Amino acid sequence: MVSLTHVSAYLLRHRHDVTYFPQMQTGLQARLQNTHLKYSAPAGTNVTVLSHSLRLRPLSALAQGDRRTKPNIDWDSLGFGLKDVAGSMYTATWTEEKGWDAGSLQPYGPIPMMPSAQVLNYGQAIFEGMKAQYTVDGRIVIFRPDKNAERFAAGAQRLSMPVVPEAQFVNAVKSVVASNADWVPPQGKGSMYLRPVLMGSGPILGLGPAPSYTFLIYAAAVGSYFKGGQLTPIDLIVEEHFHRAAPGGMGGTKAAGNYSPVLVTQLNAKKNGYSDVVYLDAKSDTYLEEVSSCNIFIVKGKTIKTPPLQGTILPGVTRRSIIELARLRGYTVEEVPVPVTEAMEADEVFTTGTAVVVSSVGSLTYQGNKKQYTQNGQPGNVSLEMYTALTDIQTGKAADPADWVVKVL
| Residues involved in catalysis | 254
E-strand ranges in 250-409 read 276-280, 288-291, 295-300, 303-306, 332-335, 348-353, 357-366, 369-372, 405-407
CA quadruple 382, 387, 393, 395: dihedral sign: negative
Is residue 353 within the footprint of ligand COI (CB under 6 A)? yes
Q: Cβ of residue 346: shortest distance to ligand COI, in angstroms?
A: 23
Nearer to ligand COI, 73 or 355 (CB): 355
Is residue 250 within the footprint of ligand COI (CB under 6 A)? no
Q: Cβ of residue 263: shortest distance to ligand COI, in angstroms?
A: 11
β 357-366/234-238 pair status: parallel
CA distance 360 to 296: 10
CA distance 284 to 398: 42
Cα-trace Rg, the chain = 22
Determine which residue in the list 82, 154, 355, 405 makes contact with ligand COI, applying CB under 6 A: 355
Q: Cβ of residue 281: shortest distance to ligand COI, in angstroms?
A: 20
Secondary structure of residue 214 in the 3-state scheme:
strand
Is residue 82 within the footprint of ligand COI (CB under 6 A)? no
Is residue 275 within the footprint of ligand COI (CB under 6 A)? no
Determine which residue in the list 129, 200, 251, 307 makes contact with ligand COI, applying CB under 6 A: 129
CA distance 95 to 110: 20
Per rule CB under 6 A, count of chain residues that contact ligand COI: 5
CA-wise closest residue to 296 among 344, 329, 263: 344
State the binding string over 292-331 for ligand COI (x if CB under 6 A, else -). -x--------------------------------------
Q: Cβ of residue 29: shortest distance to ligand COI, in angstroms?
A: 33
Q: Cβ of residue 79: shortest distance to ligand COI, in angstroms?
A: 13
Is residue 354 within the footprint of ligand COI (CB under 6 A)? yes
CA distance 359 to 364: 13
* Interacting residue ranges for ligand COI, rule: CB under 6 A: 129, 293, 353-355
